Amino acid sequence: MNETLELLEEHRLFGGWQQRYRHTSSSVNGPMTFSIYLPPTADDTPPPVLYWLSGLTCNDENFTTKAGAQRIAAELGLVLVMPDTSPRGETVANDPGYDLGQGAGFYVNATQAPWAAHYRMYDYVSSELPALVREHFNVSDRQSISGHSMGGHGALMLALRHPERYRSASAFAPIVNPSEVPWGRKAFTAYLGTDETTWQAYDTCYLLAQTTARLPLLVDQGDSDQFLPDQLQPARLAQQAEEQGWPLTLRTQSGYDHSYYFIASFIEDHLRFHASHLKA
Amino acid sequence: MNETLELLEEHRLFGGWQQRYRHTSSSVNGPMTFSIYLPPTADDTPPPVLYWLSGLTCNDENFTTKAGAQRIAAELGLVLVMPDTSPRGETVANDPGYDLGQGAGFYVNATQAPWAAHYRMYDYVSSELPALVREHFNVSDRQSISGHSMGGHGALMLALRHPERYRSASAFAPIVNPSEVPWGRKAFTAYLGTDETTWQAYDTCYLLAQTTARLPLLVDQGDSDQFLPDQLQPARLAQQAEEQGWPLTLRTQSGYDHSYYFIASFIEDHLRFHASHLKA
């Protein structure tokens, strides 16, 4: 590893630093941008890291500016890392829809043209970015992962495929069964092709039935979420978890929708959940 | 008063409701948009109101989405009201600069063409909007006011001109002496004309020397704020306050800049300050 980081901006925030970096990613074969929050530290003890994966149309700044997570991260001594949701740029394939292409990487390694050239967000988020963060920042190996909607899918899927890398995973309104809902089927068909057996490695409901490691999972879902009936359906995940005896906490939040206002209202619970599992 | 409110959106947030409304304003002679946060309430006791005035280029949504204030407002039982920073629309005069025209109303009643037709934010924020809020929501008469940069100027200026209407005022990085700095001189020349004596009624440093009521003031200023030396200069306000024996708390926050990250870091202190003065 000899990747350089270009600091795009930094701001003092809750006694720590909110920073934004650009670097050249070998995984996606081009530039990537991520944001990071470094909490105030009393000594040189390397803090653990929570990765946050955002949803459709988002980049690294939505959670950074809207969720209010840094206040709690500062208190708990958590580093927050927010990657972008896809590769970007004029040479990167795109689609007119908001749910495919730039801003909609779905955290998979695409195998189909024209996507395969750059859309390798699975490798980027699971391997390259954590290595980069460990190389450039004073952080421990302990990490957890969370996300929203498409990013909730990403967080749960990555944690189930690499339970040895994450202490815990959580999600807000995740797409738990992408193989069976319109958003997921459109994206997986484009990125992975029509052989649906190749989709299973990226489907949380399928993975939960296959994985034997039992890392703690927390999911919040608003019952006024417009995408609940057609795209999200967390009851499918709850049923799988019950059948597998998996430690899943699924909470239904009355009156909450799919927005960042929902995330802001409950992010403190998620950070405290992760912090309890990230203790050395 | 018989103004109707059009609900544009609403979201559940920290157990209360974040809402956005459009209405026809008699003050600015056209449509205005504002956001409001209604905290959860245990009974019908009308809660007090904190007005928030935003800075240059902002609308009603910057503070709403980025400051994280609603968490504390929910706990303290405060209604938050966030007006837009100017009238808007194709028929409303504008300027190519970010610091004049739409998004830059400076909370004055313009007297000069072409601005005088719509730019009457002083009347809107000081009189029309509070009356509208009292008519349509279950709120008490107790109110305080806060703001950022141009909105910090607005909050302090309005509170000093109407100390009987506000229990307390606070500001982040306010323009305390607009008559003497580039942002203020450009805006006041356009909106009020070249007779600088007409500017005094909108200048916090001048008003502080004239006003005898002593309402509590809290000001936070980051020392890494790029606008500190040329546009803000809170030391001028501190000197005036000291000469007048005024209860001003001016805090310098080390390393903080002019962004909403600065506001997010200290908004809790401001809401607790106002709540302590808004008790019945």
Task: Give me the mean pLDDT over the B2-30 stretch.
Answer: 95
Tell which B residues from 212 to 231 touch A, by Cβ distance under 8 Å. Answer: 222, 224
Collect all residues of chain B within an 8 Å Cβ-Cβ radius of residue A11. 256-257, 259, 261-262
SS3 content of chain A, % helix, strand, coil (to 5): 40, 20, 40
pLDDT above 80 for A61: yes
Q: What is the DSSP string of A167-193?
A: S-EEEES----GGGSHHHHHHHHHHH-
**For residues A98 and A150, is the Cβ–Cβ distance under 8 A?**
no
Burial A205-217 (b: 16+ CB within 10 A, else e): bbbbeebeeebbb
Query: Are B65 and A11 a contacting pair at CB < 8 A?
Result: no
| Angstrom distance (rounded) from CA B79 to CA B88 | 25
Query: B54, B182, B65, B67: which is closest to B121 by C-alpha?
Result: B54
Question: Which residue matches tokens 């902002």?
Answer: B58
Q: What percent of chain A has pLDDT over 70?
A: 99
**For residues B82 and B64, is the Cβ–Cβ distance under 8 A?**
yes
Task: Give me the mean pLDDT over the B45-59 stretch.
Answer: 97
**For residues A235 and A141, is the Cβ–Cβ distance under 8 A?**
no
Tell which A residues from 85 to 144 touch B, by Cβ distance under 8 Å. Answer: none
pLDDT above 90 for A150: yes
Collect all residues of chain A within an 8 Å Cβ-Cβ radius of residue B12. 222, 224, 253, 255-257, 261-262, 265
Phi and psi based region of residue B234 (left: phi greater than 0; alpha: psi -120 to 50; beta: remaining): alpha
**For residues B55 and B151, is the Cβ–Cβ distance under 8 A?**
yes
- In this complex, is the C-beta atom of B279 within 8 Å of any C-beta atom belonging to chain A? no
SS3 B280: coil
DSSP letter assigned to residue B265: H
A270 as an active site residue: the answer is no
pLDDT above 50 for B160: yes
| Angstrom distance (rounded) from CA A152 to CA A147 | 4
Query: Are A264 and B12 a contacting pair at CB < 8 A?
Result: no
Query: B257, B238, B73, B259: which is closest to B156 by C-alpha?
Result: B238
Write down the pLDDT at residue B48. 98
How many angstroms separate the most distant Cα atoms in chain B? Answer: 52
Q: What is the DSSP string of B162-180?
A: -TTT-S-EEEES--S-GGG
pLDDT tens track for B62-89: 999 999 999 999 999 999 999 999 999 9
Query: Are A262 and B11 a contacting pair at CB < 8 A?
Result: yes
Write down the pLDDT at residue A1. 47
Task: Give me the mean pLDDT over the B183-208 stretch.
Answer: 98
Residue A2 binned pLDDT confidence (cut-offs 50, 70, 90): low
What chain B residue is nearest to A10 in terms of C-alpha separation? B257
Collect all residues of chain A within an 8 Å Cβ-Cβ radius of residue B265. 12-15
A121 burial level (CB within 10 Å; 0-12, 13-18, 19+): buried
Q: Measured on CA atoms in the order B193, B105, B53, A16, is the torsion positive or negative?
A: negative
pLDDT tens track for B91-119: 999 999 999 999 999 999 999 999 999 99
pLDDT tens track for A104-122: 999 999 999 999 999 999 9
Query: Are B70 and A264 a contacting pair at CB < 8 A?
Result: yes
pLDDT tens track for B197-210: 999 999 999 999 99
| Angstrom distance (rounded) from CA A6 to CA A15 | 22
B194: which 2 tokens?
Answer: 């070249």
Write down the pLDDT at residue B44. 87
- Which residues, in sequence order, are CB contacts of B57 under 8 Å at separation 6+? B85, B98, B103, B104
Task: Give me the mean pLDDT over the A196-215 stretch.
Answer: 94
Write down the pLDDT at residue A211. 87
| Angstrom distance (rounded) from CA A27 to CA A127 | 9
Query: Are B12 and A68 a contacting pair at CB < 8 A?
Result: no
Write down the pLDDT at residue B2. 52
**Between residues B178 and B2, the one the model is more confident about:** B178
Average per-residue pLDDT in chain B? 96
CA dihedral B224, B227, B231, B233 (to 10 degrees): 0
**For residues A52 and A143, is the Cβ–Cβ distance under 8 A?**
no
